[in-house]
């Protein structure tokens, strides 16, 4: 007796010139056996069962379902007032207010940076996300967003600070307001995610990630440097989040403004207090106050004054791990910059404190494939570390050799060639 998925072997005759079954199974490739089984006229029962068991693709149940959905053409300033008969009108993410039939929420605009004029309504530009198919540049915001732009403008106008953060329809925006030369007032708004990314999600090199994650066991100063908009604060936040989830303890942040939501519990035994600094002069006072909370980790958004640099170096040499950012073009420029600014408050002691407290310097440049990172680590619990000696002697220009040596250790003997390829991939 046979089943629908089993051929009737009793009625199947072997071809006269066929080889023995065992030899045929041992010598024929699997693909050839599969082809013979599927195409064999003696195997109609199995083939029929397979075809009957294959689910059919669901058919479109309406003409509208077969019609291609229209997409927003962000490179044009005009949006059609209506749709052709039978076409589906585009929709935008849910908004707490009714924006009208032809209006859209800013949340649906694929922007990274949004530039909004505050002293007059209706004028706005944006830089699109770096996605395939999206026209790049600084473009006019389509008129379909005009109503929601006015809501956002009215929300920002009462804010007194020039650097601020705002939440609009559940979307977090970091803003900077400036009066420009022709008398107009504009604000630049950057979209910020509430979800803190991991180093892997930021596409850091997998060989470098374990070395960065291990910094959470140390005390001292970690500096992330780079140009504006190249993810310095995001990298610091990702590191701090990992430290809290993995090692626990208490973190305290001073930011202007707050970008990612870190306030609250992280994992088991990790907690973060997140604060904003209103004025540049408040950075040093905020750091003094932060130390009274006895945090294991300190996140300082940026070193902007000699007094703040003084407090950062003192905290880094008194049992805390301090993470901060600086604007600089290289690792050497980063170290020279912090020496120069801290010398205004500490004099010649600045280089000694930096040499004693430095843990790591990262300089990152965002590429289309992820961050291109150069790094310099000091040896833990080793006052005689040659990197620290160069800092004490103010010979920062000699650190290039140690940077290349560490890249070879982390990435292998072809690190230099790989670095050149990474630069060419930009």
- Kind and range of the H or E run holding 250: strand 249-255
Residue 268 has pLDDT above 70, yes or no: yes
Q: Is 374 helix (H, G, I), strand (E, B) or coil?
A: strand
Residue 123 has pLDDT above 80, yes or no: yes
Residue 31 has pLDDT above 50, yes or no: no
Q: What's the whole-model pTM score?
A: 0.67
Tokens linked to 344: 């205004």
Report the range of poorest mean pLDDT among 144-148, 363-367, 368-372: 368-372
- Cis geometry, peptide bond prior to residue 233 (ω within 30 degrees of 0): no
Contact 358, 388 (CB under 8 A): yes
Q: What is the pLDDT of residue 369?
A: 81
Bridge partner residues of 321 (DSSP): 220, 297
Cα–Cα nearest to 423, from 354, 374, 357, 358:
374
All structural domains of the chain with their residue ranges: 89-192, 209-424
Residue 25 has pLDDT above 70, yes or no: no
Angstrom CA distances, 408 to 32, 253, 270, stand at 48, 34, 34
Q: What homologous superfamily does CATH list for 209-424? A: P-loop containing nucleotide triphosphate hydrolases (3.40.50.300)
Tokens linked to 260: 């990612």
Distance of CA 327 to the CA centre of its chain: 18
When pLDDT is averaged across residues 275-300 and rounded to a whole number, the result is 87
When pLDDT is averaged across residues 75-96 and rounded to a whole number, the result is 40
Give the neighbor-by-neighbor strand order of the sheet with 163-168. 139-140, 124-128, 111-117, 185-192, 171-179, 163-168
- Kind and range of the H or E run holding 282: helix 282-291
Across the chain, mean pLDDT equals 79
pLDDT band at 54 (very low <50, low <70, confident <90, very high): very low
When pLDDT is averaged across residues 104-128 and rounded to a whole number, the result is 91
Q: What is the pLDDT of residue 91?
A: 40
Contact 241, 323 (CB under 8 A): no
**CA dihedral over 283, 359, 369, 234, signed as positive or negative:** negative
Q: What is the pLDDT of residue 48?
A: 45
Question: What is the DSSP code string of 83-142?
Answer: --TTPPPP-----SS---TT---GGGS-EEEEEEESSSTT-EEEEE-S-TTPPPSSEEPP
Compute the residue count for the chain: 426
Q: What is the pLDDT of residue 228?
A: 84
Question: pLDDT (tens digit, 9 = 90+) per residue, 306-349?
Answer: 988 999 999 999 999 999 999 999 999 999 999 999 999 999 99
Report the range of poorest mean pLDDT among 31-40, 118-127, 179-188, 372-381: 31-40
Question: pLDDT (tens digit, 9 = 90+) per residue, 184-221?
Answer: 999 999 888 778 999 999 999 999 999 999 999 999 99
Q: Which has the higher per-residue pLDDT, 172 or 239? A: 239
Report the range of poorest mean pLDDT among 102-111, 122-131, 414-423: 414-423
Contact 168, 176 (CB under 8 A): no
Q: What is the pLDDT of residue 122?
A: 80
């Amino acid at each position: 007796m046979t089943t629908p998925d089993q051929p009737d072997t009793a009625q199947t005759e072997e071809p006269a010139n066929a080889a023995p079954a065992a030899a045929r199974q041992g010598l024929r490739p699997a693909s050839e056996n599969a082809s013979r089984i599927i195409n064999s006229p003696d195997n109609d029962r199995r083939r029929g069962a397979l075809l009957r068991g294959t689910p059919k693709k669901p058919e479109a149940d309406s003409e509208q379902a077969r019609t291609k959905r229209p997409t927003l053409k962000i490179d044009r300033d005009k949006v059609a007032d209506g749709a052709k008969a039978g076409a589906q009108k585009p929709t935008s993410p849910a908004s707490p207010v009714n924006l009208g039939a032809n209006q859209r929420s800013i949340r649906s605009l694929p922007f990274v940076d949004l530039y909004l004029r505050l002293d007059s309504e209706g004028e706005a530009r944006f830089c699109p996300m770096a996605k395939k198919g999206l026209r790049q540049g600084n473009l006019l915001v389509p008129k379909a967003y005009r109503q929601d732009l006015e809501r956002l403008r009215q929300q920002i106008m009462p804010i007194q600070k020039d650097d601020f953060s705002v939440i609009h329809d559940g979307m977090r925006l970091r803003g900077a307001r400036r009066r420009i030369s022709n008398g107009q007032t504009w604000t630049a708004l950057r979209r910020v995610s509430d979800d803190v990314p991991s180093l892997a999600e930021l596409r850091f090199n997998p060989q470098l990630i374990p070395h960065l994650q291990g910094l959470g066991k140390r005390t001292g100063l970690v500096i992330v440097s780079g140009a504006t908009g190249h993810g310095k604060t995001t990298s610091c936040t990702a590191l701090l989040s990992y430290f809290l989830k993995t090692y626990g303890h208490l973190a305290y942040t001073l930011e202007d403004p707050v970008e990612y939501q870190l306030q609250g519990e992280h994992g088991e035994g990790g907690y973060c207090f997140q604060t904003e600094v209103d004025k540049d002069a408040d950075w040093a006072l905020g750091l003094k106050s932060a130390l009274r909370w006895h945090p294991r980790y300190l996140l300082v958004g940026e070193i902007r004054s000699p007094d703040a640099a003084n407090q950062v170096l003192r905290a880094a040499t008194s049992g805390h791990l301090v993470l901060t950012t600086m604007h600089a073009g290289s690792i050497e420029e980063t170290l020279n910059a912090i020496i120069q600014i801290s010398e205004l408050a500490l004099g010649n002691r600045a280089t000694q404190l930096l040499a004693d407290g430095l843990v790591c310097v990262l300089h990152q440049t965002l590429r289309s494939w992820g961050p291109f990172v150069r790094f310099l680590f000091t040896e833990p619990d080793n006052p005689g570390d040659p990197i620290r000696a160069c800092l004490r002697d103010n010979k920062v220009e000699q650190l290039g050799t140690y940077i290349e040596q560490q890249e070879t250790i982390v990435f292998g003997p072809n690190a230099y060639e790989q670095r050149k390829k990474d630069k060419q991939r930009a």
